[in-house]
Amino acid sequence: MAAEQAFDGYRLTDELQAIREAVREVCAAKVAPHAAEADETGEFPKASFDALRAADFHAPHIPVEYGGAGADALATAIVIEEVARACASSSLIPAVNKLGTMPLILAGSAALRRKYLTPVAAGDAMFSYCLSEPEAGSDAAAMTTRAVRDGDDWVLNGVKRWITNAGVSEFYTVFAVTDPTARSRGISAFVVEKSDPGVSFGAPEKKLGIKGSPTREVYLDGVRVPADRMIGAEGTGFATAMQTLDHTRVTIAAQAVGIAQGALDHAKGYVQERRQFGKPIADFQGIQFMLADMGMKLEAARQLTYAAAGRSERGDADLTYFGAAAKCFASDAAMEITTDAVQLLGGYGYTRDYPVERMMRDAKITQIYEGTNQVQRIVMARQLLKG
């Protein structure tokens, strides 16, 4: 699935187009049919996971050497975009697998990568990312979860909050303070297993959207972790966390683009069928202007997301700026587009008989997680002012 060249000018390569078509086919047949049920019940869409796993779209970014598909950053973004077009909750399967494993890919030892990336690639496990805490959200360096050395082990105590797919994932990248005097330079990263004694989970959060992706607290009560499960050197965890987010904000942008595309698709179909005053409402200029704005914002978001994905793959110096810009712009656009889609469907858009109200609710989280859009603007401004 890796693409040697992401773009031919501004046209996706044939390989990337084929990936899009393959994901769209799987999602139309085996993911979209479960989207409304996952939203209604709040249960993890196991059937969608099984379908993505069977097609190797559950964690496409895992390198070939660990049994993965070896998709580059742009191909992975396209996979997430297409899954989100059908079901935002299901798109968090490949997205969070990348988020959870990216610290290992960036900083983990060869043995650690082999041990944990291989089962994720096979679809035998999922990986979550534990950074946020009750009193440490945007200010992640203020975390209080502690890891204390005890012989050949580290003992972890603390609470992590807003953890996507918690309880479903087998593995967790956990950030904890190993030197309280060093603030961000005193934070280290560890792999924690669901089966480790002392690991437990809170009740699922009752959320506005992405209800089929469980969000829970993770409790660490004297969790003993072997020293070789530390990701990178001691004290480098915060830097690894921030570097990870530079890459994975691109996946949230892709998710936002996919949600918006799904909403626009439904709105276009509806306005061509719905008749008022003797003709389809698509014939009215006011409706056409709304659709034009939706399409324009969506394509701008997509192009910025793909540009950021290219920088993610190359590891360009300006990835921090582009990752923040793509995530911020695409999520703001998705919120506007899904809200307009509800408006275009009128009263029907406000009911669960049509999927656009779900898409509007799902879109909101893309403005909040992996750094609020206010934080993204801080990140962008700092990058702009560097020079």
- Residue numbers annotated as active site: 370
Taken in order 181, 182, 187, 188, the sign of the CA dihedral is negative
CA distance 77 to 79: 5
Q: Identify the three-state secondary structure at position 231.
A: strand
CA distance 85 to 27: 9
**Pair of tokens at residue 228:** 């070789």
Give the HSE-up count for residue 358: Cα atoms under 13 Å, Cβ half-sphere. 25
Q: Where are the beta strands (DSSP E) in the chain?
A: 7-8, 11-12, 127-130, 146-150, 153-164, 171-177, 187-193, 199-201, 215-226, 230-231, 275-276, 279-280
CA distance 126 to 94: 9
Amino acid identity of residue 173, one-letter, is: T
Are 384 and 322 in contact by the 8 Å Cβ rule? The answer is: no
**Pair of tokens at residue 320:** 């921090």
| φ, ψ dihedrals at 247, nearest 5° | -80, -40
Question: Which residues partner with 164 through β-bridges?
Answer: 215
Beta strands 279-280 and 230-231: pairing type?
A: unpaired
